[in-house]
């Protein structure tokens, strides 16, 4: 796992992770990012079709707690419609459909909207699927860290 101290040069950035329901992928990404970037980067998550105030999926909570030592159990889902999108430096869609929804609903995002991470929704799947999803998110997070360091130079 990459250590927080490796990311001081990206301090002050604000990143929003977006999936559809904001109960699996994006809260998992938010938890992994909090572990990876610590207080250097402000991270949040939302969903394009979220039911407001739903808790995260239990397998998402267990996976992020067991694999990354981060507790996301207090997370509650929220809609992108309740987020000030302009406040974020980067918005990361977890899947292609989410990217399309964001591009259509928020055409002014421009370069803030990064390409889709193409991560399948693990909703209602077994624990192993959530663990694979977390690994996929972690791989993308490492690539994001490289991107952010290059952009901040």
Instruction: State residue 13 phi and psi, 5-degree precision.
Output: -75, 150
Interval 1-54: pLDDT, tens: 545 545 656 788 999 999 999 999 999 999 999 999 988 899 999 999 999 999
Structure letter (DSSP) for residue 102: H
| pLDDT (average), residues 87-94 | 97
Rounded to the nearest 10°, the torsion over CA 4, 7, 8, 10 is -140
| Residues marked as catalytic | 19, 25, 121
> Alpha helix locations (H) across the chain?
25-37, 58-68, 96-105, 127-152
Interval 112-125: pLDDT, tens: 999 999 999 999 99
Q: What is the model's pTM?
A: 0.94
Domains of the chain: 4-152 (3.40.50.2300)
The closest alpha carbon to 90, from 1, 33, 13, belongs to 13
């Amino acid at each position: 796992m990459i250590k927080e101290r490796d990311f001081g040069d990206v301090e002050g950035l604000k990143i929003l992770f977006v999936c559809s329901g904001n109960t699996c992928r994006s809260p998992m990404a938010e938890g992994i990012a909090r572990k990876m970037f610590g207080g250097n980067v402000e991270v949040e998550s939302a969903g394009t079709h979220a039911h407001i105030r739903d808790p995260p999926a239990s397998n998402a909570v267990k996976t992020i707690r067991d694999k990354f030592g981060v507790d996301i159990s207090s997370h509650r889902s929220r809609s992108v419609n309740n987020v000030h999108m302009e406040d974020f430096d980067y918005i990361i869609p977890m899947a292609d459909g989410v990217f399309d929804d964001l591009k259509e609903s928020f055409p002014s995002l421009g370069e803030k909207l990064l390409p889709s991470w193409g991560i399948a929704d693990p909703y209602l799947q077994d624990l192993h699927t959530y663990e694979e999803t977390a690994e996929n998110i972690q791989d993308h997070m490492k690539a994001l860290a490289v991107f952010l360091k290059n952009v901040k130079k």
